[in-house]
Structure 1
Amino acid sequence: MVQRVRYYLFLRDVLSLALTTFGGPQAHLAHFHKVLIDKRHYLTEEELMEINSLCQILPGPTSTQTLTAIGFKIGGPNLAYLTLLVWILPAVSLMTAAAMIMSSIEAKNWSLEFTRFIQPIAVGFVSYGAYMISQKTVTTKTGIALMVMAAVASYFLQTPYVFPIILVVSGLITALKYKAQPKELDRKKVIVPWNNFLLWAGVLIFAAVLGAITKALPVRLFENFYRNGSLVFGGGQVLAPLLYTEFVQYAPKPYHPTSHEEFLSGYAIAQSLPGPVFSFSAYIGTLSMRDQGTLGKLLGALASAGGIFLPGTFLIFFTIRFWESLKKYRAVRASLEGITAASAGLVATSAIIMFQPLENTLLNFSTTIITFLLLAFTRIPSPLIILGGLILGFLLRGF
């Protein structure tokens, strides 16, 4: 009975996160910390950072993988898949609804001005996340040096493939300090269960073959997004240019092409909604099948969302199963110092990168600073800060 209640509470917390977390994986991490560690104590800060760092090395949506991996750690595969469903459902539903509206009425003049405070607030969340991570997990001179170098490297080499490289190199550097780690007397040979890896590869091949044979639009959509989800590092901001190329500039003939205006409007909506930015895939899938009626649109959204979220889920489930055994080795445990420090550097840089596209105004700068101070020195819940930003945006429209 205790376990059932715990699982229910965990899923309720996941739903709360799905409805209140803005700003992408780095900002999500700060929310996860507040709810899952500070409030509920489901895991330690070190465990959260280990899982998040592991997810950054793998392709796919980092925050989604992190949250589902936590569900797996608490309750196994069943709770993990429920976690995935609860986490993505609100954002996917809202993006599908937005695409349905976009496909039926002329919406080019929609104004999203009321969300103008959300982006600087999100930067404030990311900044606070970087501060918290560095304060609690970066405690050595080596860690500080790696954090700074990771921040500088990720700033000047703004490509998604640099993230896993930075994490791996940082881990290898501190792995050399393995002798400082205590020996594990109960260390066992690492056994790698390949089931989830084979499942990932099997679905990829099966979808490609089935799509080529049947030419069915939902299958081809699933295959397209599954392939992209298997190759993308760095979150929704990296997925966007790939989708733009495939569905706007060079849309495959079976799909209804998405216009430039529709794409940008949808991406702005995705950025202003809580939850995973990868939910943008449901928007594109709906518009791609707008000629197939309401059922076809819904099928397009389902195929696209399933395609983008499943590969990363399969890969993290594959890795997390032998991670506990693997980290019993001293070199692996020593590498966590470097990986965690580099993660802190990446989060800090992401705050700077996220702020740069915003207008360099006193209002945006002040909003970011105030958000950081509210998180650091008050107990105001994150949803209230976000709600306050939205209300302020409504009141100051036109000013």
Structure 2
Amino acid sequence: MVAATGELVAGEAGSLPPASRAVGEVFRAFLKLGLTSFGGPVAHLGYFRDEFVTRRRWLGEREYADLVALAQFLPGPASSQVGFALGLLRAGPWGAVVAWLAFTLPSAALLVAFAFGASIMDNPVGDGILSGLKIVAVAIVAHAVWGMAKALTPDARRASIAVVAMVIALLVPAAWGQVAAIALGALAGLLLCRGRTPTVEAPLTFPVSRRAGLVSLSLFAVLLVGLPIVATVTRSGVLEFVDGVYRAGALVFGGGHVVLPLLQAEVVSGGWVGQDEFLAGYGAAQAVPGPLFTFAAYLGALGEPGLARAALALIAVFLPGFLLLLGVLPFWNRFRSVPWAGAFMRGANAAVVGILAAALYDPVFVSAVVDVASLSLAVVCFVLLLAWRTPPWVVVLVGAASGVLLRVF
């Protein structure tokens, strides 16, 4: 994929380790997250913030919020796009690739195993683990909202923008409601946040040239239009399946859960997968860490050739979002240098806080906290993160074990 994007040029990202060490560092960091990041895309953004902003200090709060805002604007898997950009920032093109692989392959492998009959969660212990992991997600997202709110909504105007964005996201739960909330927040920033002290943190410089960006956008369009033509001409069932998965990944706004109805329309209505198989896989996808887009690997593994089609489906569902991200990044940097861009981004960043707060309530809180015991566990996990600075993977283990105990007793 890196070669297909054309010219990726080296950029400056501050004080970086040697290239080979940086790639290894990215791989280890994202592999840990790929094994422990439960709770869906919003929770993933909380894990990323804790790991790369708070602990490793690869970038600041404002830069991280900029990436989140950009990913929310683009189709595709928002949390994976942020992770891809973080790997690109830290270690260049190979860093982006290994960040995606390390974050994605654990959940993809588990779902492919499930497709081959390894249903390990259909029992009381599995139900308890799943319940505990959903409660952990409440604490992770609450911690992210807390930290980002302190940095990005420090005054009454930006706090008000965040509240309005939260209300919009709650009243209009569709993906376009989130996009509208960020757009309105950015416009409010132009009106309310001008003339403020500019951020002292340097703008992020990604190693992507304008030419590479244009090539990426062109490749995105060529695949979107060309895949169905080639599949029809060749009458290849595998290509038809890959085309459907690519189109679902290219048209989805709002993260992992939104891709499910699109995939259902492509693979169930198209006769590739039965409705019962689809729903069983969806249930399994809730119990594994990492991005929900890896559900495509499960769908691919149900057909022939199993592993090969699973790999093609996995690449096809992520590729459009990454091509769009690479296409926009060079122009995003130029946009940030425009004089009024600071006010624009302050408003957008405040809106991102509001959107995360809305997601903290629905679906994260309402789906996980169902009684006093689950609320108590959520508070304990939050205090472990905030006050005791416990690593998120430890909190995940505590939540999973506690979920089993709550289910048993």
Q: Same fold (TM over 0.5)?
A: yes
For the 8 Å contact 1:26–1:129, the answer to whether it is kept is: no
The aligned counterpart of 1:58 is 74
CA–CA distance in structure 2, aligned partners of residues 239 and 382 of structure 1: 27
Report the more deviating stretch, 262-271 or 166-175: 262-271
Could you tell me how far 1:244 is from its partner in structure 2?
A: 3.1
Alignment of 1:184-195 (within 5 A): 193-195=213-215
Could you tell me how far 1:122 is from its partner in structure 2?
A: 0.6
Note the alpha carbon deviations across 1:174-209, whole angstroms, 9 max, x for none.
Answer: 1235751689xxxxxx96741110011112222111
Note the alpha carbon deviations across 1:105-139, whole angstroms, 9 max, x for none.
Answer: 9x996553132111121112111111111011112
The aligned counterpart of 2:176 is 161
Structure 1: 5+ residue runs without aligned partners?
184-189
Alignment of 1:102-141 (within 5 A): 110=123, 112-114=126-128, 115-141=130-156
Query: Is 1:356 aligned to residue 366 of structure 2?
Result: yes
The aligned counterpart of 2:343 is 334
Query: Is 1:232 aligned to residue 242 of structure 2?
Result: no
Alignment of 1:1-399 (within 5 A): 2-101=18-117, 110=123, 112-114=126-128, 115-176=130-191, 180=195, 193-248=213-268, 250=269, 252-253=270-271, 255=272, 257-260=273-276, 262-287=277-302, 289=303, 292=304, 296-353=305-362, 354-358=364-368, 360-399=370-409
1:208 to 1:79, Cα distance in 2 relative to 1, 3 A: same
CA–CA distance in structure 2, aligned partners of residues 179 and 113 of structure 1: 50
1:110 to 1:243, Cα distance in 2 relative to 1, 3 A: farther
For the 8 Å contact 2:145–2:357, the answer to whether it is kept is: yes
Could you tell me how far 1:154 is from its partner in structure 2?
A: 0.6
Q: Give the TM-score of the pair, scaled to structure 2.
A: 0.87
CA–CA distance in structure 1, aligned partners of residues 197 and 389 of structure 2: 38
Partner amino acid for 1:300?
R
CA–CA distance in structure 1, aligned partners of residues 264 and 19 of structure 2: 44
Could you tell me how far 1:247 is from its partner in structure 2?
A: 3.4
CA–CA distance in structure 2, aligned partners of residues 284 and 303 of structure 1: 11
Could you tell me how far 1:340 is from its partner in structure 2?
A: 0.6
The aligned counterpart of 2:3 is none
CA–CA distance in structure 2, aligned partners of residues 241 and 119 of structure 1: 22
Aligned partner of residue 70 in structure 1, secondary structure: helix
1:209 to 1:125, Cα distance in 2 relative to 1, 3 A: same
CA–CA distance in structure 2, aligned partners of residues 394 and 191 of structure 1: 51
Could you tell me how far 1:394 is from its partner in structure 2?
A: 3.6
Report the more deviating stretch, 202-211 or 220-229: 202-211
Note the alpha carbon deviations across 1:58-117, whole angstroms, 9 max, x for none.
Answer: 010001000111122223323212222222111111111111116xx9x99655313211
Matched residues, number? 381
CA–CA distance in structure 1, aligned partners of residues 188 and 359 of structure 2: 23
Partner amino acid for 1:160?
A
CA–CA distance in structure 2, aligned partners of residues 348 and 177 of structure 1: 21
Could you tell me how far 1:336 is from its partner in structure 2?
A: 0.7
**Alpha carbon RMSD of aligned pairs, Å?**
2.4
For the 8 Å contact 1:258–1:284, the answer to whether it is kept is: no
1:182 to 1:340, Cα distance in 2 relative to 1, 3 A: closer
Could you tell me how far 1:382 is from its partner in structure 2?
A: 0.9
Report the more deviating stretch, 312-321 or 77-86: 77-86
Partner amino acid for 1:368?
A
Structure 2: 5+ residue runs without aligned partners?
1-16, 199-208
CA–CA distance in structure 1, aligned partners of residues 266 and 379 of structure 2: 38
